[in-house]
């Protein structure tokens, strides 16, 4: 049996660092939103062994790939000693080291898919626990297309999605290591009055113009300092009159949001030919936009 699945990218409409934790991670609040740029995954059951086939340069095919870690951890924690296996074909569209959660999304979707393929019947909270061990962003890809993340980013509150809006992703062909960006944080400088509540308010009202005006990412100044090319990319996007523009996560992708799809298409056309990869996307508002029906409602709480 083979399962064909799509794994979406995410953007952070807000990312506020609250402090450093004893375990070395940072306590944060983030507004996460899935967008319609997808990798595709094909999962086939095997009698034993985990195989990954990924022909994309720069994406490892060995056990360092989050997809393999996800499958192994699921086997270890959820299969009660049964001998199970799978072959995973991964076709990448989402750039790596881009702040778009590509690898995290792949891992989350593999957990969901193998839970069904292997008939493990793990609950949503059991899968979320395994997901959090793989990476801070992985649990988001098990749940709602929009969520508020707290803790390391793994403690999630599902949000009612805003009315669909349009997002240009600009990847400046530069891979960023998340841990390096966090190391550059100066927590004294990030103690501002700003907080995520105002963003949540505009998001809940689908007020995209006000949401855009209040996008915020505490990691952005560090990314700009280390990679001035990312700041240039933000200026290029900002010149096209979007509702808002921001670095996603720890970069290097800069995204622009538009309430109006025609304006987004015009801006997209004007950005062609630069030294970057561009994607015109829209927000995902329902799981059924990328998951088969059987996977949308198979998880017990």
Q: Could you give the residue ranges of the DSSP H alpha helices within the chain?
A: 66-78, 102-117, 124-134, 178-183, 187-190, 197-204, 208-213, 220-226, 228-238, 261-270, 293-296
251 binds ligand C5P (CB under 6 A): no
Q: Which of helix, strand or coil describes residue 239?
A: coil
Q: x/- contact string, 125-164, with ligand C5P (CB under 6 A)?
A: ----------xxx--------------xx-----------
For helices 124-134 and 102-117, angle between their N-to-C axes, nearest 10 degrees: 140
The pair of three-digit structure tokens given for residue 42, joined into one six-digit string: 């094909």
CB of 123 to ligand C5P, least distance (A): 22
Phi, psi of 292 (to 5 degrees): -60, 150
289 sits in the region (left: phi over 0; alpha: psi -120 to 50; else beta) called alpha
Write down the catalytic residue from 137, 218, 234, 243.
137
Residue 150, strand partner residues: 155
178 binds ligand C5P (CB under 6 A): yes
Q: x/- contact string, 51-90, with ligand C5P (CB under 6 A)?
A: ----------------------------------------
Which residue of 179, 186, 272, 294 would you call a contact of ligand C5P, by CB under 6 A?
A: 179
CB of 247 to ligand C5P, least distance (A): 15
Judged on CB neighbours under 10 Å (0-12, 13-18, 19+), 206 is: middle
Write down the catalytic residue from 6, 10, 92, 234.
10
260 counts as catalytic: no
240 sits in the region (left: phi over 0; alpha: psi -120 to 50; else beta) called alpha
User: How many binding residues for ligand C5P (CB under 6 A)?
Assistant: 11
Task: For ligand C5P, give the closer residue by CB, 182 or 224.
Answer: 182
The pair of three-digit structure tokens given for residue 255, joined into one six-digit string: 């995204």
20 counts as catalytic: no
193 binds ligand C5P (CB under 6 A): no
CB of 167 to ligand C5P, least distance (A): 22
The pair of three-digit structure tokens given for residue 176, joined into one six-digit string: 């960023």
- Please give the Cα distance from 185 to 89 (Å, whole number): 37
Give the footprint of ligand C5P on residues 22-51 (CB under 6 A): 25-26, 28
Going edge to edge, which strands form the sheet with 277-282?
Answer: 244-247, 254-258, 166-171, 277-282
Looking at 174-182, 208-216, 231-239, 270-278, which segment touches ligand C5P (CB under 6 A)?
Answer: 174-182
CB of 185 to ligand C5P, least distance (A): 8
CB of 179 to ligand C5P, least distance (A): 3
CB of 158 to ligand C5P, least distance (A): 19
Residues labelled catalytic: 10, 137
Binding site for ligand C5P (CB under 6 A): 25-26, 28, 135-137, 152-153, 178-179, 182
């Amino acid at each position: 049996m083979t399962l064909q699945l799509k794994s979406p990218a995410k953007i952070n409409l807000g990312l506020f660092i609250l402090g450093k934790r004893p375990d070395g991670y940072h306590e944060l609040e983030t507004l996460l939103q899935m967008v319609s740029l997808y990798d595709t995954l094909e999962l086939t059951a095997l009698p034993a062994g985990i195989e990954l086939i990924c022909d994309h340069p720069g994406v490892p095919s060995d056990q360092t790939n989050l997809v393999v870690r996800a499958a192994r951890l699921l086997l270890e924690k959820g299969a009660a000693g049964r001998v199970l296996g799978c072959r995973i074909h991964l076709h990448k569209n989402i750039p790596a080291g881009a702040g778009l959660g590509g690898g995290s999304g792949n891992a989350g979707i593999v957990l969901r898919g193998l839970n069904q393929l292997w008939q493990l019947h793990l609950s949503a909270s059991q899968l979320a626990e395994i997901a959090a061990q793989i990476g801070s962003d992985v649990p988001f890809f098990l749940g709602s297309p929009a969520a508020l993340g707290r803790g390391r980013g793994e403690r999630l509150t599902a949000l009612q999605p805003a009315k669909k809006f349009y997002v240009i992703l600009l990847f400046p062909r530069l891979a960023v290591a998340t841990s390096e960006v966090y190391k550059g944080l100066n927590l004294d400088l990030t103690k501002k009055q700003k907080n995520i509540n105002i963003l949540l308010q505009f998001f809940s009202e689908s007020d995209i113009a006000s949401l855009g005006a209040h996008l915020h990412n505490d990691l952005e100044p560090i990314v700009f300092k280390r990679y001035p090319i990312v700041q240039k990319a933000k200026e290029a996007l900002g010149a096209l009159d979007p509702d808002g523009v921001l670095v996603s996560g720890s970069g290097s992708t800069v995204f622009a949001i538009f309430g109006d799809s025609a304006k987004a298409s015009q801006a997209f056309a004007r950005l062609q030919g630069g030294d970057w990869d561009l994607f015109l996307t829209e927000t995902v508002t329902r799981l059924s936009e990328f998951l088969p029906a059987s996977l949308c409602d198979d998880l017990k709480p």
